[in-house]
Amino acid sequence: MAIRKRKDNRKRKPFDFRKKPIKPWTLMWLIKILCRIMLIGRKPKWTYVGNKPKGPCLILSNHASFSDFFMLFTSFKTFNMNYVMTIDASYDFTPFLVRLIGGITKRKFATDLVLMKNLKYTVDKLHDSVVIYPEARYSLDGTTSYIPEAIGKLAKFLNVPVYTLKLSGNHVCDPQWNKYKANLPLEAVITETVSQEELKTISASEIYNRILTNLTYDDWAWLKGKGNILTCETRAKNLNKILYQCPHCKAKHKMVGEGTTLTCTACGKKWEEGENGVLTAHDGVTEFSHIPDWFKWQRENVRKEVLAGTYYFEAEVDVMTLPDGIKYVPQGKGKLVQTPKGTTVTVNLYGEDKTFNYSGTQLESVHVEYDYKEEGDWLDFSIPDDSVWVSPDVKDCVTMLSLATEEIRDLAKKAIKS
């Protein structure tokens, strides 16, 4: 499906986030039925730890694919749930429908006081549970992404029990860099992480640590441990989107994933992805058999460059904006520069030259879309009243930019503490 775009770059009225959430009412019954149908043949399994929710609660889930929603709505018996959705999700389903089914829209990785008010309104006035994906994006490598510490403070603010929903099988069955949709089993562990009574006695930091512990996962280890198999003959297609650096010759952006094979075009080394998700070199040493270990190694390399002050990225980018959640607005070309000091996006928006500077403390992470609507890889930056989407002209760079953003953030936070 191609991206729906405006015919001109005239500025549109931005999305109104101040609208109060509404109860999904009878549509929730329809959603639950549809989710049950979508899980037919998937052998879903639910494990409950602690008490099941009896009233409004805060539900926190890991996030890896669209199948997350099927498991969410079949894991909790509470009738009405409202859930935080990003503005690009509103674009996919239309803002009207998203609100009708309980959606609370926001922009990614942006401080949002209106959202806090809407969440509080949901639990106090609507008496509904609220659902948040604290990673704020699909997992890139099938393991836990960054979860902000502020989630502990949010739990205290909402003052309702906290439940975590840890899903397994959702990444390996439908990774965002490939989207092959394997028909694998799905599992959910639903844990009462903080009770109503505990909210009064434990700190926000302790709440955060419990949430982080309960949402820590590794989908590739789960796949291997359960003995499940990926029969898809294109399971390594686009694996280069996340494994962009060769561990043999250290070349970046030279990897190619096709069929079941990942190849470095710089040195010629190849790795085979088995049906259990394990990588094996065709010849010589297998540097990383576990995909998340390769991914972690890349992060460590980026961290070293950031700490040494040598990290630098610059590229021309295609630009579009999403002010209203209805259609994207094309904005021509721009430039993206990233250094250990932060990220700079230079664009021409609606006929005006703009430069947006994000220091390490201003940008906790960045949203990545692989081959978005079959129109390339994109990054999403939030600005007041708009979302700026950029697609760099460098092959397989968005994963590195995401890793660098988080390492620059960590460096900036350490500098403040010291």
Residue 13 lies in a domain: no
Percent of the chain at pLDDT > 90 equals 80
Write down which residue in 252, 273, 307 finishes a domain.
307
Whether residue 371 sits in one domain with residue 329 = yes
CA–CA separation, 375 and 200 (whole Å): 49
Tokens 């890896």: give the residue.
64
The pLDDT score that the predictor gives to residue 270 is: 98
Q: Which of 72, 36, 49 is nearest to 194 (CA)?
A: 49
Whether residue 343 sits in one domain with residue 302 = no
Residue 5 lies in a domain: no
Apex 242 CA angle, 238 and 247, nearest 5: 105
Whether residue 359 sits in one domain with residue 260 = no
pLDDT for 78 beyond 80: no
Residue 8 lies in a domain: no
- Domains of the chain: total: 3
CA–CA separation, 245 and 239 (whole Å): 11
The pLDDT score that the predictor gives to residue 94 is: 87
Average pLDDT over residues 184-200: 96
Whether residue 388 sits in one domain with residue 403 = yes
Name the residue type at position 181: K
Q: Which of 150, 16, 22 is nearest to 97 (CA)?
A: 22
Whether residue 47 sits in one domain with residue 104 = yes
pLDDT grade for 318, boundaries at 50, 70 and 90: very high
Whether residue 63 sits in one domain with residue 202 = yes
Q: Which two tokens stand for residue 26?
A: 């009878």
Residue 233 lies in a domain: no
Q: Please count the other Cβ atoms lying within 10 Å of the Cβ belonging to residue 34.
A: 13
Whether residue 245 sits in one domain with residue 127 = no
The tens digit of pLDDT for each residue in 256-295 reads: 999 999 999 999 999 999 999 999 999 999 999 999 999 9
Average pLDDT over residues 183-212: 96
The tens digit of pLDDT for each residue in 229-252 reads: 999 999 999 999 999 999 999 999
Q: Which two tokens stand for residue 145?
A: 């992404």
pLDDT grade for 111, boundaries at 50, 70 and 90: low
pLDDT for 183 beyond 70: yes
Residue 285 lies in a domain: yes
Residue 312 lies in a domain: yes
Average pLDDT over residues 182-199: 95
The tens digit of pLDDT for each residue in 331-375 reads: 999 999 999 999 999 999 999 999 999 999 999 899 999 999 999
Q: Which two tokens stand for residue 32?
A: 């639950």
Percent of the chain at pLDDT > 70 equals 99
Tokens 């389903």: give the residue.
93
Q: Which residues contact 131 (CB under 8 A, 6 or more apart)?
A: 59, 60, 61, 72, 81, 82, 83, 84
Q: Could you tell me the residue range of the domain that residue 162 belongs to?
A: 26-226
Write down which residue in 249, 272, 307 finishes a domain.
307
What average pLDDT is seen over the chain?
94
Q: Which two tokens stand for residue 237?
A: 């297609």
Provide DSSP, 242-253. T--B-TTT--BS
The pLDDT score that the predictor gives to residue 22 is: 94
Whether residue 168 sits in one domain with residue 302 = no
Residue 2 lies in a domain: no
Whether residue 59 sits in one domain with residue 49 = yes
CA distances from 186 to 120, 133, 171 (A): 32, 18, 10
Write down which residue in 307, 342, 366 finishes a domain.
307
Lowest mean pLDDT among 108-112, 128-132, 211-215, 293-297: 108-112
Q: Which of 388, 390, 392 is nearest to 87 (CA)?
A: 388
Provide DSSP, 44-87. -EEEEESPPP-S--EEEE---STHHHHHHHHH---S-EEEEEEH
Q: Which of 188, 145, 142, 192 is nearest to 164 (CA)?
A: 192
CA distances from 125 to 57, 120, 194, 390, 412 (A): 13, 8, 22, 39, 39
The pLDDT score that the predictor gives to residue 66 is: 87
The pLDDT score that the predictor gives to residue 29 is: 84
105 neighbors 17 (Cβ within 8 angstroms): yes
Q: What is the pTM of this model?
A: 0.94
The region that residue 196 occupies, defined by phi over 0 for left and psi between -120 and 50 for alpha, beta otherwise, is: alpha
Whether residue 185 sits in one domain with residue 41 = yes
Residue 10 lies in a domain: no
The torsion of the CA quartet 106, 110, 114, 116, rounded to 10 degrees, works out to 90
Q: Which two tokens stand for residue 147?
A: 């979860």
262 neighbors 245 (Cβ within 8 angstroms): no
Whether residue 282 sits in one domain with residue 346 = no
Whether residue 158 sits in one domain with residue 276 = no
116 neighbors 157 (Cβ within 8 angstroms): yes
